[in-house]
Amino acid sequence: MCKKNVIVFGGDGFCGWPLCLRLSNAGYNVTVVDNLVRRKTDIELECDSLTPISPLSVRINAWKELTGKEIKFEYINVSDHYHRILTLFDRVKPSAVVHYAEQRAAPYSMKSSHHKRYTVNNNINATHNVLCAIVESGLDIHLIHLGTTGVYGYGTAGMKIPEGYLTVKVDTDGGEKELEILYPASPGSVYHLTKTMDALAFLYYNKNDEVRITDLHQGIVWGTATDETMMDERLVNRFDYDGDYGTVLNRFLMQAVIGHPLTVYGTGGQTRAFIHMKDSVNCVKLAIDNPPKKGERVKIFNQTTECHNIHILAKKIVRLTDSEIRYYSNPRNEAVKNDLAFVNDSFLDLGLNPITLDDGLLVEAMDIAQRYVDRCDRDKIIATSMWNKDKKVDRKGSKKPRR
């Protein structure tokens, strides 16, 4: 088992690819495992990354040409090809595997019964296959999983949301007693549901088989570029702006660039957690470098650097770019307004120096959008995935906030 061997499941995706480059740059032997489903979903949605992403072999060859470093690739469907995962573990003997191989968009998970079922089947089986293969391999592999701040629900009980565990008091026959529990799950979509189910699988496999696990509850990623992805156009990362896969701040930036009104759903009273792509990559590397001890419970980190109210965020972009806001009825089933704050001491203690919402980085992201503006399909901007039967697609929006 080599400390420098790492497998990245889902290493061709939005968070996976920049991580692979960073790890490879830092001297890790990286194996990407992917079934390229994110590229195939583009075909299904008749949509594409704003940035022209190269085929994976071109990405990998460019990286080798530029740095002399080799990234390996295995075409595997993690939710299905169990035995190939097992033999891969046996061959590579990784010290750590990073698991990004899940359908990651809440709106996509709500498009139809097919999409709900695909998300549940893919995500739960993928996570369980990786856990099962770690146990069957007999290797002491550290699993790093990308969760979401959404597992906690988007509201607090009047406190900063702690990192995974919550201390509660209960009345017992012998008086009041203190317990430490997993923070009660409150999923807001089928996608989020799968991440809360994953957390139970981690709890169980950690307890029964002492698998070392770090679960990272990540906020909404903004920005797309890292030092490595900017080295060459063939290494460029995805930039999604559509109603399903585009993350809110990147969508606003893109909309500002093309002169589309900023699409705020509902009143914009929602508060969400954010993290820049560069920090996302930094955090996962920190997690790999600091595994839990053998027998230690699942490490849960809140991988987010700041919280913002969507409306205030939109107004910030308006000021920066002279764009306007348009309010659409909310396709999601969620609170009109919420407060949110997270403890994120674990990564700060490990040395993370957070990138917060910074005009320079906003401009950098807009520069990327500007460069590829001709590739934008405006028909893909409006969200069309409805949370339940009471919701209707709103293509027109209005200048006043909608509930």
The residues that touch a copy of itself, with contacts defined as CB under 8 A, are 82, 86, 113, 116-117, 120-121, 124-125, 128-129, 132-133, 135-136, 138, 157-159, 166-174, 176-177, 179, 181-182, 184-187, 189-190, 193, 196-197, 200-201, 203-204, 207-209, 333, 387-389
Contact 386, 393 (CB under 8 A): yes
Contact 302, 280 (CB under 8 A): no
**Per-residue DSSP letter, 88:** H
56-63 contacts at long range (C-beta below 8 A, 24 or more positions apart)? 56/12, 56/32, 58/234, 59/17, 59/234, 59/235, 60/32, 62/232, 62/234, 62/235, 63/21, 63/24, 63/235
**Per-residue DSSP letter, 261:** P
Nearer to a copy of itself, 130 or 281 (CB): 130
In whole angstroms, the minimum distance from the beta carbon of 365 to a copy of itself comes to 32
In whole angstroms, the minimum distance from the beta carbon of 58 to a copy of itself comes to 35
* Residue of 51, 82, 127, 195 marked catalytic: 195
Nearer to a copy of itself, 61 or 125 (CB): 125
Gap between the Cα atoms of 296 and 213, Å rounded: 9
CA dihedral 240, 246, 252, 255 (to 10 degrees): 50
Q: Which residue has the tokens 């893909």?
A: 380
In whole angstroms, the minimum distance from the beta carbon of 169 to a copy of itself comes to 4
Nearer to a copy of itself, 62 or 185 (CB): 185
Phi, psi of 268 (to 5 degrees): 80, 10
Residue 216's DSSP bridge partners are: 146, 301
* Residue of 82, 108, 118, 191 marked catalytic: 191
Instruction: Estimate to the nearest angstrom the gap between the alpha carbon of 46 and the chain centroid.
Output: 22
- Report the 10 Å Cβ neighbour count for 13: 25
Catalytic residue check, 195: yes
Nearer to a copy of itself, 71 or 85 (CB): 85
Instruction: Estimate to the nearest angstrom the gap between the alpha carbon of 402 and the chain centroid.
Output: 28
Nearer to a copy of itself, 204 or 372 (CB): 204
In whole angstroms, the minimum distance from the beta carbon of 217 to a copy of itself comes to 16
Nearer to a copy of itself, 206 or 280 (CB): 206
In whole angstroms, the minimum distance from the beta carbon of 168 to a copy of itself comes to 4
* Residue of 148, 196, 263, 305 marked catalytic: 148
Which sign does the torsion angle of CA 244, 325, 306, 196 carry? negative
The structure tokens listed for 60 are 């990998």
In whole angstroms, the minimum distance from the beta carbon of 388 to a copy of itself comes to 5
Residue 220's DSSP bridge partners are: 274
Which residues are catalytic, by number?
148, 191, 195
